[in-house]
Amino acid sequence: MTTLVFLLEEPSAKDALEGVLPKIIPRDVRVEYLLFEGKQDLEKRMARKIRGWLDKHSLFVVLRDQDNGDCQVIKQRLMERCGEGGRPETLVRIACRELESWFVGDWQAVGEAFNLPNLHKQSAKAIYRNPDKLGSSVTELRKFIPTYQKRDGARRIGHHLDVERNRSRSFQVFVQGLNRLLAEQGAA
Amino acid sequence: MRIESIRLKNFRTFQDVTMRDIPRLCILIGANGTGKSTLFSVFGFLRDAMTTNVTAALGRLGGSRGFQEVRSRGCTGPIEIELKIRADLGRKGANLITYGLSIDEQNGRPVVAREILKYRRGSKGQPWHFLNFSYGSGEAVTNELESVKDENDLVREAQTLKNPDILAIKGLAQFERFPAVMALGDLIENWHLSDFHISRARPEQEAGYAEHLSREGENLSLVIEYLFKQHRPVFDTIVEKLKDRVPGITSVEAKPTEEGRVLLKFQDGAFEDPILARFVSDGTIKMLAYLTLLYDPKPHPLLCVEEPENQLYPTLLWDLAEEFRTYAMRGEQVFVSTHSPDFLNAANLDEVFWLAKEQGFTKIIRAKDDKQVAAYMAEGDKMGYLWKEGLFRGVNLR
């Protein structure tokens, strides 16, 4: 049985994945989460965590926000850490610019999560056509949900996300990468 | 309403301290004895001074030698407190109200050496002085009304208070009509300190009535009963949240017994019989208490919380921090003192202040002002993580 191990920079990413992963991966794939305390902590400790992981049937996925960094540089650095951990095939994905872009990419899901049925209309707006380009998607969410909080929001929205309709490019790339990773291992 | 800045002089360990740009959610960290609770005691002191007088308020804080005990050690000047409050007084934009209090000793008795209240109407211009008192007498405006458009139209009257240890905002009846004083009074009177003690909250109360959770939480079952009867949607929200946080809990019931006591019963989905409150875990009771506090239908203008992390599973603390922030964003303000890195990991850079002692007195440092901390946060670190790494300089020193 395959296990997917997610290395994440903060708990809200786990909350979102717990909701959406059942729509992406087969049911017989086990999922584990390793939570770090921010980006520095993730980079510093990930290689050792990967190297020391006992279950050899595991596949690793590193997911972090881009924030202000350069996507390619970040990815390169994280790949190197995976190499140091002895698992260079590890999937590294960056949410641009932050995880919440995946939510802005699917206003219908946000609307369902917060019981704001009219919110899906926002998806017609030009600025939301490419949510990965937004400076801060949390700020965008707060325009409609003033008290929006990261964990609470991720937990509510995660299981409403639709894999097909999401407009976030980084979300789509994440889904494709995950499918490929599992296919290569003959699990999907 | 929001406290924007606090300036303290000669108040216990705060010999000369200013907190500026205080956010809606303000998280205070610092070693034991650096003055986190003392900061909260400033609000308690103001409330006592307003409901009684300065002498009694000092007595409550410092015993029989009140003034001497409350004044910073080795200092000679008056005790000074200055609050700047941003309040919506029903006009365009929020007004900045400044309230200043200076307390000295005269012939061995505490007196109000100076008390001022001023605020700006609108965003420009000099602030208008509404009250300016010292040693029991001074001037106060008598016609602060919507119709007054120019400061020169204000009518000021010389007045004398019954006693020089009484606050003019309390002693002068005409102020009750003034929005700025009402806002200040509401803050001072209705701020709330939560210092939850599990052992106090556990025993079921005698039948009674309570709308707000008390400081130590001993009326928890009464408040739950009140919410159950009067605010069902709030009660349902609390139960929903509790179910999310505490594995196994599927419902909570507040039940008056024949003797008139109120029993809280927790249903665990796996078992048929509910568990009585006295047998559920400390963490469950504590989480229930915080949810009751935070989903209060009539929130406090200022909520101060001491170390909310005790008894709670670390992964719950991020959610708790989010809930404090939501409470604050709904229009109020929350001050939290904590020793928990997990709680702090959920904090934004501008929400954290740390208290450190230097030569016997406390200074308060805003995390945002520390360039190194700010730089790491911009790179995606977390506050609790940076704290553990020792980057909050001075905070671990005694």
Contacts A–B by Cβ distance under 8 A:
54
CA distances A68 to A30, A97, A154, Å, are: 33, 7, 21
Residues A52-68: tens digit of each pLDDT: 999 989 999 999 999 88
- pLDDT tens string A16-28: 999 999 999 999 9
Q: How many CB atoms lie within 10 A of CB B214?
A: 17
What mean pLDDT do residues B236-247 have?
A: 86
Of the pLDDT bands very low, low, confident and very high (cuts 50, 70, 90), residue A186 is low
Contact B128/B151 with Cβ under 8 angstroms? yes
Work out the average pLDDT over B338-362: 95
**Chain A: nearest CA to B312, how far in angstroms?**
17
Q: Judged by CB atoms within 8 Å, which residues 107-136 of B form the interface with A?
A: none
- Whole-model pTM? 0.91
Cis-peptide into B215, omega within 30 deg: no
Q: Is B345 on the interface with A (CB under 8 A)?
A: yes
Query: If you average pLDDT over every residue of chain A, what do you get?
Result: 95
- Decide if pLDDT at B335 tops 80: yes
Q: From chain B, pick out residues whose CB is under 8 angstroms from the CB of A41.
A: 381-382, 385
What is the rounded distance in angstroms from the CA atom of residue B96 to the CA atom of residue B119?
A: 6
Specify the DSSP class assigned to residue A38. Answer: B
Q: Three-state DSSP class for A52?
A: helix
Mean pLDDT (whole number) for A166-182: 97
> DSSP string covering B164-223, please?
TTS-HHHH-GGGGG-HHHHHHHHHHHH-EEE---HHHHSSPPPS---SS--SS-TTHHHH
Which of B385, B387, B389, B391 to mutate against chain A (most A CBs within 10 Å)? B385
pLDDT for the residue B145? 61
CATH class, A3-97+168-184 region:
alpha beta
- List pLDDT tens digits, range B185-231: 999 999 999 999 888 877 666 678 899 999 999 888 889 889 988 99
What does the pLDDT read at residue B262?
65
Residue A188 has pLDDT above 60, yes or no: no
pLDDT at A71: 92
Give chain B's mean pLDDT: 88
End-to-end CA distance of chain B: 34
ipTM over cut 0.95: no
pLDDT computed for residue B328 by the predictor: 94
Interface contact flag, B380 A64, Cβ < 8 Å? yes
Q: Which residues of A touch B325 (CB under 8 A)?
A: 147, 149
Residue of B nearest to A98 (CA): B380
CA distance A16 to chain B (A): 14
Q: What is the pLDDT at residue B173?
A: 65
pLDDT band, very low/low/confident/very high, at A140 (cuts 50, 70, 90): very high
pLDDT at B272 over 80: no
In chain A, where the domains are located: 3-97+168-184, 100-158
**What number is the average pLDDT over the span B275-298?**
86
Please give the pLDDT value at position A87: 96
CB contact under 8 A, B380 and A152: no
Which position has the higher pLDDT, B4 or B266? B4
Instruction: Output the pLDDT for position B260.
Output: 63
Domain residue spans of chain B: 2-25+38-191, 193-303
